[in-house]
Chain A
Amino acid sequence: DTGVSQDPRHKITKRGQNVTFRCDPISEHNRLYWYRQTLGQGPEFLTYFQNEAQLEKSRLLSDRFSAERPKGSFSTLEIQRTEQGDSAMYLCASRSNELAGGSYEQYFGPGTRLTVT
């Protein structure tokens, strides 16, 4: 257990519905990342925050996706009008701003597996 938690762990939804996922990072980490992972692929960057500021959003992310980190602690990722192609594992990761021993290690959560039927 890295200390990063995600909720829910699994979500099944019907096409067209909205879903929201939550990530709780390690408390002292001010950077938070969202990734999407499909079978046989590496984590694909979606967006990241430094504290409450969303610093970058992937061009691959459609406007159906939105993420927030209102108080610089937990974050939410919302997908509106879900499509079958949104089915994937959504991973959250956090890291410190500090360079710890030369490492920018990201600590991953267990992920939320989304299935859109």
Chain B
Amino acid sequence: GENVEQHPSTLSVQEGDSAVIKCTYSDSASNYFPWYKQELGKRPQLIIDIRSNVGEKKDQRIAVTLNKTAKHFSLHITETQPEDSAVYFCAAGGYQKVTFGIGTKLQVIP
């Protein structure tokens, strides 16, 4: 089955700086890579996703890059704001299901 590793487990950045979270996956058949944000006490919510026919996708301050050869993908958040503080999960899989990483707790310091 798919195995997803995510790092770092915690990340602190100053407001306005960029944050980068990296994930690797094991199953070369995986073709769908979503990122979810989970605020304290709330449900995970999708913030961006990418499919394997695309190398990069951007949505305002958030971007995801994918390197299928190396089996890794990354989340980039620019101009971080305090409301970006949360736990971020990467996932990898396909049409049927995805496997989640353990999460990165991002703290944006005002």
Contact surface of A with B, Cβ cutoff 8 Å: 2, 33, 35, 40-45, 48, 55-56, 91, 102-106, 108-111
Contacts and interface: CB of A to CB of B under 8 A. Distances in A.
Contact of B97 (A48, A103, A108): A48
Interface string B76-110: 00000000000001010011111111110000000
A110 B103 contact: no
A41 B103 contact: yes
Contact of B45 (A42, A48, A108): A108
Contacts, number: 54
B43 A108 contact: yes
A2 B45 contact: yes
Given A104-B98, A106-B98, 11 more contacts: A40-B102, A43-B44, A44-B100, A45-B97, A45-B99, A55-B96, A103-B46, A104-B49, A105-B46, A108-B43, A108-B44
- Interface size class for chain B? 20 to 34
Give the secondary structure class of A's interface: loop
Which of A35, A91, A106 has the most chain B CB within a 10 Å cutoff?
A106
Contacts of B103: 40-42
A106 B46 CA distance: 8
Nearest to B53: A102
A91 to B, nearest CB: 7
Contact of A42 (B42, B49, B89, B97): B89
23 contacts: A41-B102, A42-B4, A42-B91, A42-B102, A43-B44, A43-B100, A44-B100, A45-B97, A56-B96, A91-B43, A91-B44, A103-B34, A103-B46, A103-B49, A104-B94, A104-B95, A104-B98, A105-B46, A106-B34, A106-B46, A106-B98, A108-B45, A110-B43
